Amino acid sequence: MTRYVALLLAGALVGAAALTVATETAVAAESKITILYDAFGNDAAMKKDWGFSALVEVAGKRILFDTGNDGDIFAANVKAKGVDLTNLDFVVLSHRHSDHMAGLNHVLTVNPKVKIYAPREGFGIYGSSLPASFYRKDESLPPQMRYYDGKPPEVMTFGTAWQGANFEVIEKTTEIAPGITLIALVSDAPGTRELRELSLAVNTPDGVMLLVGCSHPGIDKIVEAAAAINPKIHLIAGGFHLVAAPDDVITRLVTALKDVFKVENVAPGHCTGEPTFAALKQAFGNRYFYAGVGTSLPLGSSMGGGERRGEGPALEEDDLTSYRRLARREDPFGMRARSGP
Ligand SMILES: [Zn+2]
Ligand SMILES: [Zn+2]
């Protein structure tokens, strides 16, 4: 190799390295999750309270996920982090529990027309509709004993608690923007049976970034649905709902996340529970990311997990089959402990 070629090569390598650094910095600066509401944290500027809210900045979008438990605290935390609520692509309300919704009035004061995705609930708080054919008719009755004098509208609409808000209710798992999917599942746990919940899955070059509100349908069920989008689960953040679960249930679930679903990184918060924080920290080590209120989690390859990049599907069918067998056992994941917010 001549000295000239060697110099050229060296120059090209330095240039490529500089370019890589610049690109990664740009990604890190743009893609992050900022926790705006939770009951733990180490940021003195933020107020702590039970509930959840996070700002997700990923794939060029700014998404507000849930709005906390108290409108005033939510507004104070939004201000403390300098978050501009007038500049959102959309809001996601994970479910109808008040510890996830109470800040919505504040959002609407600042940004009254913002698109809000919420789960479709029959006669729910977000508004709904049904064809008038849903109820039985009796034409032998006089008109004054009949609904709408016997002439109902074709579609009956039912109001929302936030009249005028721009809701779009989601019935089943839907890709709402390229790579951005709302996973719609229903809880079957006593206390929250039939409660519908949305989780946010963003398919990034590093795998799926999954943000969960309260995981009432079961964190395992939500992760399984996310794995159908892309079996490589890069990150799960949010509430795993194991706040009152016993140790054996926690152990089984942590093992499933790590060994069956091969989740790369976790950033648990909200209703995950203190013993579950400890168990996840022990299992995931430096792939456990602290996510107290006020934390900004940079997304992307800087989180690690790259050793598995380029492999095929992370889920092995054998693992999944035995996991499903296990999960069919009575109350395998502490469903009974899952009632409440
Ligand atoms: Zn909650
Ligand atoms: Zn809840």
Q: State residue 27 phi and psi, 5-degree precision.
A: -65, -45
**Ligand with smallest separation from the Cα of 339:** 2
**Ligand with smallest separation from the Cα of 243:** 1
Q: State residue 25 phi and psi, 5-degree precision.
A: -65, -45
pLDDT, block means (10 residues), the chain with 341 residues: 47 47 45 97 98 96 98 98 98 98 98 98 90 96 98 95 96 96 95 95 96 97 98 98 96 97 98 98 97 94 54 52 55 42 54
Look-up: residue for tokens 């990049």?
309
Among candidate residues 213, 120, 239, the one with its CA nearest the CA of residue 169:
120
Q: How far apart (Å, rounded) are the C-alpha atoms in residues 72 and 75?
A: 5
The alpha carbon of 149 and the centre of ligand 1 are apart by a number of angstroms equal to: 43
Q: What is the DSSP string of 112-143?
A: TT-EEEEE--TT-TEEEEEEGGGS---TTS-G
Q: What is the DSSP string of 167-221?
A: EEEE-S-EEEETTEEEEEEE--STTSTT-EEEEEEEEETTEEEEEESS-TT-HHH
The structure tokens listed for 69 are: 């438990």
Q: What is the DSSP string of 25-85?
A: HHHHHH-EEEEEE-S--S-TTS---SS-EEEEEETTEEEEE---S-HHHHHHHHHHTT--T
Q: Is 62 exposed, middle or buried (0-12, 13-18, 19+ CB in 10 A)?
A: middle
Provide the pLDDT for residue 17.
46
Q: What is the pTM of this model?
A: 0.83
Measured CA angle at 289 (ends 287, 292), to 5 deg: 165
Provide the pLDDT for residue 337.
42
**Ligand with smallest separation from the Cα of 50:** 1
The alpha carbon of 324 and the centre of ligand 2 are apart by a number of angstroms equal to: 24
The alpha carbon of 28 and the centre of ligand 2 are apart by a number of angstroms equal to: 31
Provide the pLDDT for residue 304.
67
Q: How far apart (Å, rounded) are the C-alpha atoms in residues 32 and 126?
A: 28
Provide the pLDDT for residue 283.
98
Q: How far apart (Å, rounded) are the C-alpha atoms in residues 210 and 203?
A: 9
Provide the pLDDT for residue 123.
85
Q: What is the pLDDT of residues 221-235, one digit of tens each?
A: 999 999 999 999 999
Question: How do strand 166-170 and strand 115-119 relate by DSSP bridges?
Answer: parallel
**Ligand with smallest separation from the Cα of 340:** 2
The alpha carbon of 283 and the centre of ligand 1 are apart by a number of angstroms equal to: 24
Provide the pLDDT for residue 15.
47
Provide the pLDDT for residue 122.
83
Paired with 90 in beta bridges are 63
Residues 184 and 198 sit within 8 Å (Cβ to Cβ): yes
Other Cβ atoms less than 10 A from the Cβ of 294: the count is 21
DSSP state of 288: B
Q: CA dihedral defined by 106, 112, 114, 115, rounded to 10 degrees?
A: 100
The alpha carbon of 27 and the centre of ligand 1 are apart by a number of angstroms equal to: 30
The alpha carbon of 213 and the centre of ligand 1 are apart by a number of angstroms equal to: 6
Provide the pLDDT for residue 328.
53
Provide the pLDDT for residue 30.
75
Q: How far apart (Å, rounded) are the C-alpha atoms in residues 4 and 233?
A: 46
Q: Is 96 exposed, middle or buried (0-12, 13-18, 19+ CB in 10 A)?
A: middle
Other Cβ atoms less than 10 A from the Cβ of 40: the count is 15
Q: How far apart (Å, rounded) are the C-alpha atoms in residues 305 and 289?
A: 13
